[in-house]
Amino acid sequence: MSSLPGWPHPHVAPFHAGEQAAQRRTGVHERMQEIGQRVMRGAMPQQHRDFFPLLPFVVLGAADAAGQPSATLLAGAAPGFVSSPSDTALRIQALPPADDPLAPLLHEGAQVGLLGIELPTRRRNRANGVVRALGNGGWTLEVQQSFGNCPKYIQLRRPLALPDAGAAAPAAPRHATRLDEPMAAQLRAADTFFIATHAAGDGINGGSDVSHRGGRAGFVQVSDDGATLTWPDFIGNSFFNTLGNLMLQPRAGLVFPDFASGDLLHITGDAEIVWEGPQVQAFAGALRLVRLHLREALLRPSALPLRWQLQEESPALAGTGRW
């Protein structure tokens, strides 16, 4: 069996300056340069092309003109709303609604990070690139980076039937510059969120990215004033896509899905990495912490037309702590 193609750009490193800085800081730079040449790709392998059409939703991240990233979950009418016409293209036959933070960010030429995650199997794959052919109810992602992720920290969930069509209409979206108590309660109960970051102007290995974060329920700490979030960063693949982007551009956009209600809570803010110290040591399993100072929160009730039931916590969380 022939090996999968690796990084196709001989004069550009697979990791940008911020990712390399994080790798150096943690002592894995030399090893990751060799690994990156093999696992970071400029086109999707067939198994990824077969994977994305199976999904009922994808996760997206993009940044506005000021460099502020936002994240969202985008669902289609049915699995198969994502297709792969070639190994460097994904066609997504769905657009974010007008109240979604990603709606104004999806335009021709926009850099987008895309994550496909299958909750019943814990599979996930990434495809980052540029928006093309926007129109006719969908758009195409010109894939520039393709890579897989391990199943660590993904909670196992099974899909549920949707509520009756005759149920009450969802409440209106709600904006805030500080988390109110219902918003804070949702975060304190969360075991999953997604984080969008952006490395502006860093070439073929930069652009937008969106990543999964999972932990025991309550792994996201909310300050008493509702203005700051803190969460542990556990051992991962050492790519440092998220932390590397934050080292270049310390802003992030988070989305917290409530899988039982379909509510999506979007948060944007300024991020800092806490590399060491007593706070890191106090949280079992944490290698460092990330702290986000909130700019804006947006709660979109029942925005996700899917429901899921928790089946099993990730086994990788057995050695991690609680706040």
Do the domain assignments include residue 91?
yes
Do the domain assignments include residue 11?
no
Do the domain assignments include residue 167?
no
Could you list the residue range(s) of the whole structural domain that residue 107 is in?
A: 17-162+173-316
Do the domain assignments include residue 258?
yes
Do the domain assignments include residue 7?
no
| Residue 25 to residue 28: CA distance in whole angstroms | 8
Do the domain assignments include residue 25?
yes
Q: Is-contact 117 128, C-beta < 8 A?
A: no
Do the domain assignments include residue 299?
yes
Number of domains in the chain: 1
pLDDT digits (tens, 9 = 90+) for 220-244: 999 999 999 999 999 999 999 999 9
| Residue 228 to residue 223: CA distance in whole angstroms | 5
pLDDT digits (tens, 9 = 90+) for 61-98: 999 999 999 999 999 988 899 999 999 999 999 999 99
Q: Give the pLDDT of residue 2.
A: 47
Rg, C-alpha atoms of the chain: 19
pTM: 0.96
User: 233 burial class (0-12, 13-18, 19+ CB within 10 angstroms)?
Assistant: buried
Do the domain assignments include residue 23?
yes
pLDDT digits (tens, 9 = 90+) for 304-319: 999 999 999 999 999 9
CATH code of the domain covering residue 183: 2.30.110.10
